[in-house]
Structure 1
Amino acid sequence: MQLEFSGRIWFWKGPAPWYFVTVPGEQCAQLSAVAGAVTYGWGMIPVSAEIGRTRWTTSLWPKDGSYIVPLKSAVRKAEGLDEGGEARVRISLSI
């Protein structure tokens, strides 16, 4: 399964601060339909992600009925991304 979407980059200040992009509703519905077959626990879904020319392996995190994509520092730096900016994200997962 491959999905592509755009979203605003947001920052979570929790005990382990991190940057994310929220997966839009339509794509979340597609992910929810296959989540049981691909999750490795806590609802996390392993994916390959890509923004611009940067590719990395990560997991989608479930949050408030949707999924969020964590953005590593190296990805943000390589693509010149920061909080509040827009990112075009491509993800793929094996079903």
Structure 2
Amino acid sequence: MSGTRTYEFESTVWKVDDPGTWFFTTLPFDLSDEIEERHRDSAAGFGSLKVRVRVGATSWTTSLFPSKQAEAYVLPVKKAVREAEQLHDGSPVQVTVEVL
């Protein structure tokens, strides 16, 4: 079962616990399960899925990545987005994701 679909969710921005500057947000478990069910056949390397994302007034293209630790998909939130939307570690975030 594939096809483009848009999903909306609220989550929290979090920083990876290493010296890097990687920030992510985790998709809800039920939404991750639905996305995996619908789009697993179009997954690329490491199970990633290409997506178009909107947070506030900012849109960009990236990928969702399955996280065994989170048991859900995680979404990288790049620096330009964090700066434009004033997001920091722990910030709540409203996200719209379109699986491409």
TM-score, normalised with respect to structure 1:
0.91
Given candidates 42, 48, 51, the residue that maps to 2:52 is 48
Given candidates 52, 61, 77, the residue that maps to 2:83 is 77
1:42 counterpart SS class: helix
1:84 counterpart SS class: coil
Which consecutive unaligned segments of at least 5 residues does structure 2 have?
none
Given candidates 6, 13, 17, the residue that maps to 1:9 is 13
State the percentage of identical aligned residues. Answer: 32
TM-score, normalised with respect to structure 2:
0.87
Q: Which residues of 2 match residues 80-91 of structure 1 at below 5 A?
A: 80-91=86-97
TM-superposition CA deviations, 1:58-77 (whole Å, max 9, x none): 00011022100100000000
1:37 counterpart SS class: helix
Instruction: Give the root-mean-square deviation of aligned CA atoms.
Output: 1.3
Question: Does 2:98 align with 1:92?
Answer: yes
Which stretch of structure 1 is more off in the superposition, 29-38 or 45-54? 29-38
Q: Tell me which stretches of 4 or more aligned residues in structure 1 moved more than 4 Å.
A: none
Residue identity matched to 2:80:
A
1:47 counterpart SS class: strand
Question: Aligned equivalents of 2:20 and 2:89: distance in 1?
Answer: 16
Residue identity matched to 2:49:
I
Which consecutive unaligned segments of at least 5 residues does structure 1 have?
none
Q: Aligned residues, how many? A: 94
Aligned to 1:25: 29
